[in-house]
Amino acid sequence: MKLRKISRLSAWLFSTLAVSGMAASAQAQGVCNLESIKAIAPEGAVVDAVTAVAAPVAHCEVLGHTITQNPGPNRVEWTVMLPDYRFNGRYYFVGLGAAAGVVPTTTTKDPIGQGYIPATLKLLGAGFAVAGTDTGHKGSRWDFAVDNPAAKLDHGHRGAHVSAVATQAITRAYYSMDKKLYRYHLGCSGGGRMGAMAALHHPEDYDGIVASTGFGKGGSVWFPWILQYLINNPEGWVSLPKLETLERKVAEHCAGPDGLVRDPDACGFDPASLRCKGESTDQCLTDAEIKMVNRITSRHPVGPDDTSGGFTLTNPTGWSAFLLGPTRPTNKGPENPWAPAPAPYSWGLGQSILRGMYFNDADFNIMDLDFDNPEHLQTLADHHADWGAVSPDISAYKKAGGKLILWAPLGENAVPPATEIEYYHALKDTVPGTDDFMRLYVVPGVQHCAGGPGPQDSPDRFLDNVIAWAEQGERPDAIVTSASTEIPRYFGNGAPAPARTVLVCPYPQTAVFKGKEGAFAYDARNWKCQ
């Protein structure tokens, strides 16, 4: 992902925090220098550098690494940043997007890592100790895993675990804690995957996890499923103006009075209803374009006799940059089928994931994945669990007392929300008393982690609530979030919309407008969960 994308997502995902019920604050007890931190580091944790950072938030930055073995050796680098003042007894682990591959500090020079600095500073200012890891490799793609089983395992879950063990121990010792350290993990996309794998494989690591697009068996196979069809049928490419028409028509058919679509099935809207009667215009879809839309929203194979759900029709404008590209494909070459225009993000991500996480082949081409080949389907099925939380049995996390808020952005343009919804149902069927430790929220109008007309502060509000749940036993119910302050340009003249709040509900409930005629639809108080 380009820096501007990471920075935007980081700003939305991790901006914080007005957390209620803060623990009593404390001042640092430890000494912020290399010798002192080395003295309190646990066995196996190597402290490489310690820096006293004075501004804009005073904290002690610790950089270290752990060498993993069996398989190994592999070097997993980590950090923990310890606030000088107002430490609130809470620890926060940064869930990194894409393939991680960077240590997220406030002083990093890495372009991707710098996208996480503003949020980290806000967390430190709120009194959290903040930790993170590169998960045992560098770079935001998955090619590193080719012929490297140790790095592949570390990225899967081991690297984040050894980092959490080391940094939590240093945090406790640095503040001479005699009370419980409350530990939280928040992430979306690759960061949600990290949290999901922690709940599954290392249930003792966190008291509360907020995760999006992290659970399920999809394994990003939807990328080749969509891209192969698009490249082989370039006449099916759908332009942004046509996607705007589709989004507007879906909203007219299905949205509530606040303009947000809350039904994952878009109330049964049929794209064929927009079929061009004559010449193709921005106000209609050709037969080839309708087939493309249906491909994006259809179920796709993820293994022998196994499928996973596709994207929703709720906010298809997000498909343009991420899934379809700015122009129609021009060739079938392995480098960039959109040349000379840039390829969509899905192309590079899909190539890298197949090479590193599934086929162990640095030259594997996304076009060579054969969905009709049983051996290829079996390869997919065999490797989903290497890097994703496929199993619905996270009963050990429940037993450990952990609380989990899973959220699905309904307007997703990178990971189908069906992955979370289907995982929720599998979890309910597998773990008795799921509602005692897990909640799912389907959030309308939000694209991949952020963006779109929906509530952009959802992760922050979920973090508030998972903290209250873990520390006070307050299981969340309806949650008030804040939506975008601008409406899409195709709904009007692009003028700012009124500031608004949005009610989000624990699945399978959904928000329903209960206001009297003329009541303000942009006020969460005029909605109820049912």
Q: Any idea where the domains of the chain sit in the sequence?
A: 3-218+391-482, 222-386
- Name residues whose C-beta falls within 8 Å of residue 317's C-beta, 6 or more positions apart in sequence: 240, 243, 244, 247, 488
CA nearest 358: which of 328, 394, 385?
385
Q: 519: how many CB neighbours lie within 10 A of its CB?
A: 13
pLDDT tens profile 333-378: 999 999 999 999 999 999 999 999 999 999 999 999 999 999 999 9
CB 86, CB 25: distance < 8 Å: yes
Lowest model confidence (mean pLDDT) among 3-17, 115-129, 140-154, 402-416: 3-17
Look at residue 496 in the predicted model and tell me its pLDDT. 52
Look at residue 26 in the predicted model and tell me its pLDDT. 64
User: Once rounded to an integer, what is the mean pLDDT over residues 140-162?
Assistant: 98
Look at residue 25 in the predicted model and tell me its pLDDT. 61
Look at residue 218 in the predicted model and tell me its pLDDT. 84
Q: Tell me the β-bridge partners of 285.
A: 275
CB 63, CB 127: distance < 8 Å: no
CA distances from 431 to 88, 399, 423, 424, 475 (A): 33, 11, 12, 10, 18
pLDDT tens profile 295-337: 999 999 999 999 999 999 999 999 999 999 999 999 999 999 9
Look at residue 27 in the predicted model and tell me its pLDDT. 66
pLDDT grade for 21, boundaries at 50, 70 and 90: very low
Query: Which pTM value belongs to this model?
Result: 0.93
Look at residue 217 in the predicted model and tell me its pLDDT. 86
CA distance 45 to 63: 10
Extract the tokens encoding 259: 């303009």
Give the N- to C-terminal CA distance of the chain in Å, as an integer.
Answer: 38
| CATH 1.10.3210.10 given to domain 3-218+391-482 | no
CA distance 483 to 446: 9
Q: One-letter amino acid identity for 497? A: A
Look at residue 28 in the predicted model and tell me its pLDDT. 62
CA distance 389 to 95: 15
